[in-house]
Amino acid sequence: MKFKFWGVRGSIPTPGANTVKYGGNTTCIEIRTDANDLIILDAGTGIHALAQNLLKEMPVQAHIFITHTHWDHIQGLPFFIPIFIPNNHITLYGGVDPVTNETIKRALSVQLQYSFFPIREAQLNARIDYNSIKPGQPIKVGSATITPIILSHPVLNFGYRIDSDGQSIFFTGDYEPQLNIYAPDDDEYEEFQAFVDAKWDEIVRAMNDVDALIVDASYTTEEYAAKQGWGHGTYDSAIRLAQAAQAKKLYFTHHEPTRTDASLEAIYRSIVQNNPDTGCELLLAQEGIDIVL
């Protein structure tokens, strides 16, 4: 199995000279099995560059798994060129929103409304299927098994484990580890802490022993103090997760939009220096690099 980051940025695209090395597109990851099955995780602006690359291998059969429907994870969908070309087959996977009761179909159809986009949904020429998924229920795509799990974020958010060819990848989407909302002296503290601990154990089991763990690490610990509850993790929380899961490689992603290449590398050097014995390789997600497991 191999994969490539086409978008590594969080919240908003950040093109420019200061982000050219690691990339300024929002989240998109391409995964290929040994049989060349195409699995795409999220459809941020990075999916547009991926689409250009796919034009040389028409017809395309692509399976797009959406972690959640915040803009930075779906805003590239209307610009995924294969949806406009006959004989392509695109399957979009995602959850049913518990608040709106809308399926993943809404992620594309809303963006193709008259007020937001010049082309209507009826003008798409590819075959497009929509597949509602549930936590813990695996989906087969060729030789791969994709298993979703719900992770903490201010909207329904799936993390995905992909197993194929004796190898494994886990991607968290946007993820802020659950915290106890009660003070230790509150009556509800112990009961809620039991819930927090049980959820942590469930997540660790879901990503146990993966070859590549890709985690939302938007903030430093110091930055997080002012951004608790925004739905994103830290470099340190990502490392704790990787150690608990005994992951072989940890990729920090969802880079904060004001983070330049230079500031990313400064943070990375500090992380590596302060965590010499993590038991896994620490890496920054970078657009355009082929990674073979």
pLDDT digits (tens, 9 = 90+) for 211-252: 999 999 999 999 999 999 999 999 999 999 999 999 999 999
Q: What pLDDT shows up at residue 245?
A: 97
What is the SS3 assignment for 271?
Answer: helix
Domain count, the chain: 1
Contact 245, 207 (CB under 8 A): yes
Residue 179 has pLDDT above 90, yes or no: no
Q: What pLDDT shows up at residue 288?
A: 96
Residue 86 structure tokens: 């006959």
Q: How far is residue 31's CA from residue 25's CA, in Å, rounded to a whole number?
A: 17
* Residue 161 bridge partners (DSSP): 147, 170
Residue 80 has pLDDT above 90, yes or no: yes
Please provide the average confidence, as pLDDT, over all residues in the chain.
96
**DSSP track, 228-262:** TTSS--BHHHHHHHHHHHT-SEEEEESB-TT--HH
Q: What pLDDT shows up at residue 187?
A: 86
Percent of the chain with pLDDT over 90: 92
Residue 106 structure tokens: 């809404």
Q: What pLDDT shows up at residue 79?
A: 96
Range of the domain at 112: 2-292
Between vectors from CA 213 to CA 106 and to CA 142, what angle results, nearest 5°? 60
Q: What pLDDT shows up at residue 253?
A: 98
Residue 57 structure tokens: 């291998």
Burial of 8 by CB count in 10 Å (0-12 exposed, 13-18 middle, 19+ buried)? Answer: buried
pLDDT digits (tens, 9 = 90+) for 147-168: 999 999 999 999 999 999 999 9
| Single pTM value for the model | 0.96
Find the CATH number of the domain harbouring 73: 3.60.15.10
Contact 18, 9 (CB under 8 A): no
Q: What pLDDT shows up at residue 225?
A: 92
pLDDT band at 11 (very low <50, low <70, confident <90, very high): very high
